[in-house]
């Protein structure tokens, strides 16, 4: 998601007490989950609020969007939620062998074939994620995009994942769900949300 830079973006990011720059430091050894592409932070904030026994990290490539998430999260002062501003591809060493679950919510579908390697479920990204997991690997994806969903099902299974849960209309199921900003928008437009949970 691209948007105009908020005027106070740099100040908000620099003064963020839960921003990770060079080390990951939670006050316990609870399971650690990450959302790659957290957007404005609605999903990761509510996941942290509803699951205090789990630590969460949200990473956002675009600082303009990340600063909005920081403002949203700031009043809650949560000990189990931290964020990173930057590209996941540049954070492998920082994040290596840390995570139990990865969330991919409404990622850019990159519809053109020549851009397939940029999709967050492309083989190169799945290889990157292999290095981020502690041991067992679990990926949860939500999308409105049929083509990306079909692509993800193929690449995940080709990479050794087993699809444990699958829905082409998430909101018609009883699968526990926290809405993202995009999800709210798409649902109001009558677009069905695709969901998968995959383990390796």
Signed CA dihedral, 181, 184, 186, 191: sign only? positive
What the block records as the tokens of 123 is: 């083989």
Whether 100 is catalytic is no
The residues facing 196 across adjacent strands are 141, 166
* Residues in contact with 45: Cβ distance below 8 Å, sequence separation at least 6, in sequence order: 69, 72, 73, 76, 78, 81
102 DSSP assignment: E
Longest pairwise C-alpha distance within the chain? 45
Which of these is catalytic: 10, 100, 108, 146? 108
C-alpha span between 195 and 167 (Å, rounded): 5
d(CA 70, CA 87): 17
Catalytic residue IDs: 108
């Amino acid at each position: 998601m691209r948007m105009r830079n908020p005027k106070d973006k740099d100040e908000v990011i620099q003064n963020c007490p839960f921003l990770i720059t060079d080390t990951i430091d939670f006050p316990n050894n609870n399971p650690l989950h990450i959302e790659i592409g957290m957007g404005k932070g609605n999903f990761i904030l509510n996941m942290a609020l509803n699951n205090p026994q789990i630590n969460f990290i949200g990473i956002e490539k675009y600082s303009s969007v990340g600063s909005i998430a920081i403002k949203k999260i700031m009043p809650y002062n949560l000990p189990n939620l931290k964020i990173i501003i930057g590209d996941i591809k540049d954070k492998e060493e920082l994040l290596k062998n840390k995570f139990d679950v990865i969330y991919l919510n409404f990622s850019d579908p990159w519809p053109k074939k020549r851009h397939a390697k940029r999709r967050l479920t492309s083989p190169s990204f799945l290889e990157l994620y292999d290095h981020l997991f502690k041991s067992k690997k679990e990926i949860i994806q939500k999308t409105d995009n049929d083509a990306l969903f079909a692509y993800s099902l193929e690449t995940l299974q080709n990479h050794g994942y087993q699809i444990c849960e699958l829905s082409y209309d998430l909101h018609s199921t009883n699968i526990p769900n926290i809405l993202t900003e995009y999800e709210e928008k798409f649902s109001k437009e009558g677009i069905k949300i695709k969901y998968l949970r995959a383990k390796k």
